[in-house]
């Protein structure tokens, strides 16, 4: 017996933002995986007539690729639980490791082609980091706009007219476009669609209702419509208005 709902507690634990240690460990795995792949690939591409690749070199590529795949798979669930993480950061970690491994090994074996490949991967990693920063700033901007609309907009009730996925969809979560319908202050029925990450533990059903805010001066402006249910799937959630 417990005074705490076990299902709610389990759901809250699953949605808790990942700790810095777990995020850091995942990034380290991606960097190491990329590094080993870069080292192995560069040494194997060298002139084997002088010095055939060692067993360690031969193993570096499959081990490195395995670590990279495992790291990217583990990175996915973290994205759903943190507003500061993006897929670009995971790819940047793998690319930076691959670039460093390729470049340093290319310098040792004096391969100009591989050296340029390594530098290209490092540039790609930097570009991915900039992309992740840009995406994060966009999420912040959307959250601030939603917060403002929830304070100044007109509140009404919206209904899910199409949840956008079937019961047979596989995976613990599905990315889909959900369609909502509502009536504005003049009685005009309107529809709005929102991309959402729907978890199996919290499914959406047709006919489900949710709060919606819109600009009374411009009810047809899709950018000035906030759907509460869609906000719950966002990684940045504006505060609930009083």
Burial class (CB in 10 A: 0-12, 13-18, 19+), 165: middle
Residue pair 86/132 in contact by the 8 Å Cβ criterion: yes
Shared domain check, 96 and 50? yes
CA 212 – CA 205 distance, rounded (Å)? 17
- Whether 179 maps to a domain, the answer reads yes
Q: pTM of the entire structure?
A: 0.71
Tokens of 222: 């899709």
Residue at token pair 């491994």: 101
For residue 185, give its domain range: 153-231
Mean confidence (pLDDT) of the chain: 85
Q: Is the pLDDT of residue 30 over 80?
A: yes
Residues 193 and 83 in one domain: no
Residue 126: predicted pLDDT: 97
Residue 147 forms part of a structural domain: no
Q: What is the pLDDT of residues 107-116, one digit of tens each?
A: 988 889 999 9
Give the tens place of pLDDT for each residue, 124-170. Answer: 999 999 999 998 888 888 888 888 889 899 999 999 999 988 765 56
- Distances from the Cα of 227 to the Cαs of 16, 41, 101, 127, 184, in angstroms? 22, 49, 46, 33, 14
Instruction: Let me know whether 80 and 181 are in one domain.
Output: no
Is 239 part of any domain?
no
Q: Do residues 87 and 199 share a domain?
A: no
What is the model's pLDDT at position 54?
A: 74
Which domain-ending residue is among 112, 141, 170?
A: 141
Rounded-to-integer distance, Cα 55 and Cα 52, Å: 10
Among 75, 106, 141, the domain boundary falls at 141
Asked if pLDDT for residue 174 goes beyond 60, the answer is yes
């Amino acid at each position: 017996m417990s005074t705490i709902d076990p299902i709610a507690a389990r759901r809250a634990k699953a949605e808790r933002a990942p700790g810095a240690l777990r995020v850091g460990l995942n990034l380290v795995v991606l960097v190491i995986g990329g590094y080993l792949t870069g080292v192995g690939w560069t040494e194997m591409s060298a002139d084997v007539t002088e010095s055939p690749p060692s067993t360690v070199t031969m193993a570096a590529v499959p081990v490195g690729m395995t670590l990279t795949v495992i790291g990217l798979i583990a990175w996915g669930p973290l994205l759903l639980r943190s507003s500061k993480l993006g897929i670009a950061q995971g790819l940047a970690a793998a690319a930076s490791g691959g670039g460093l491994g390729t470049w340093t090994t290319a310098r040792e074996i004096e391969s100009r082609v591989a050296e340029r490949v390594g530098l290209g991967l490092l540039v790609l990693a930097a570009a991915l980091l900039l992309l992740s920063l840009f995406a994060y700033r966009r999420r912040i901007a959307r959250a601030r706009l939603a917060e403002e609309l929830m304070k100044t907009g007109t509140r009404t009730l919206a209904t899910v007219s199409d949840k956008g996925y079937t019961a047979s969809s596989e995976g613990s979560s599905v990315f889909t476009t959900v369609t909502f319908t509502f009536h504005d202050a003049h009685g005009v029925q309107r529809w709005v669609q929102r991309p959402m990450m729907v978890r199996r533990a919290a499914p959406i059903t047709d006919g489900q209702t949710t709060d919606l805010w819109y600009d009374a001066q411009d009810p047809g402006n899709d950018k000035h419509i906030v759907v509460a249910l869609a906000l719950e799937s966002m990684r940045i959630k504006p505060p609930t208005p009083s």
